[in-house]
Amino acid sequence: MRLFLAVNFDAATRRAVYEAAAPLRAAAPGLAWVDEARLHLTLKFLDEQPAEAVPGLAAAADAVAARHDAVPSALQEFGAFPNFRRARVVWIGVAADPRLELLHHDVEVACEALGHAVEARPFRPHVTLARVKRPDPMELRALAREARRAAAVRFPVAVRSVDLMRSTLAAEGPAYERLHSSYLRER
């Protein structure tokens, strides 16, 4: 099974983000845009794992969540990795918050204890909106213009759970299934 740990957002937030990104989709229709229902924040990609790994991962996520309060945050600003001129991924950022960084760190440590390698890159919390398979310079310039026009976009969100997700690859894109939710403390 292809597994990952994620923060999922409610349907209204996913809808608002998807609608706000409409001008970006119109400017760059050749990109592989993520469907509204699949918008999420990945905390840890675990790749292919045996079914027997699920209980241990769920227990580890429960232990991490039990030590953390829910984190008020926001989705804001469109961007691209590494940048719009050479974009590979188009995203909306998650507001920087030390509590979210600590949650991510604790997820990494818990997964490392189960034998998963620690991510070498720094944590840059974001929600992937599109992947660039065949870069078209004209499309990328139009995309950058639209992203600048929407610079003030901001959607309040609350990180309330860490979800263990299964990803099944298909021709029309991956299908996600929530296997387990670990709820953060509510204050």
Give yes or no: 104 in active site: no
Tens digits of residue pLDDT in 145-173: 999 998 889 999 999 999 999 999 888 78
CA distances from 149 to 29, 43, 145 (A): 18, 29, 6
Query: Is the four-CA dihedral 169, 121, 8, 2 of positive or negative sign?
Result: positive
The pLDDT value recorded for residue 23 is 96
Task: Please give the pLDDT value at position 172.
Answer: 78
Which domains are present in the chain? Answer: 2-183 (3.90.1140.10)
Residue 156: per-residue pLDDT: 96
| The pLDDT of residue 1 | 95
**How many Cβ atoms are within 10 Å of 36's Cβ, its own excluded?**
14
**Residues paired with residue 40 on neighbouring β-strands, in sequence order:** 8
H or E element at residue 58? helix 53-66
pLDDT of residue 80: 97
DSSP code for 118:
P
**Nearest one of 125, 118, 107 to 9, comparing CA atoms:** 125
40 catalytic residue (yes or no): yes
- Using CA atoms, how far apart are residues 65 and 80, in angstroms rounded to an integer? 30
Out of 68, 104, 126, 180, pick the active-site residue.
126
Q: What's the DSSP call for residue 97?
A: -
Residue 173 has a pLDDT of 80
Asked whether the beta carbons of 177 and 168 are under 8 A apart, the reply is yes
Phi-psi region of 81 (alpha: psi -120 to 50; beta: other; left: phi over 0): beta
Alpha helices by DSSP H, listed for 71-163, are 98-113, 137-149
Q: Say what the pTM is.
A: 0.94
117-143 per-position pLDDT tens digit: 999 999 999 999 999 999 999 999 999
Q: Catalytic residue, from 40, 68, 104, 116: name it.
A: 40
Distance separating alpha carbons of residues 113 and 177, to the nearest angstrom: 24
The DSSP letter of residue 36 is: G
Spans in the chain with pLDDT lower than 70 = none
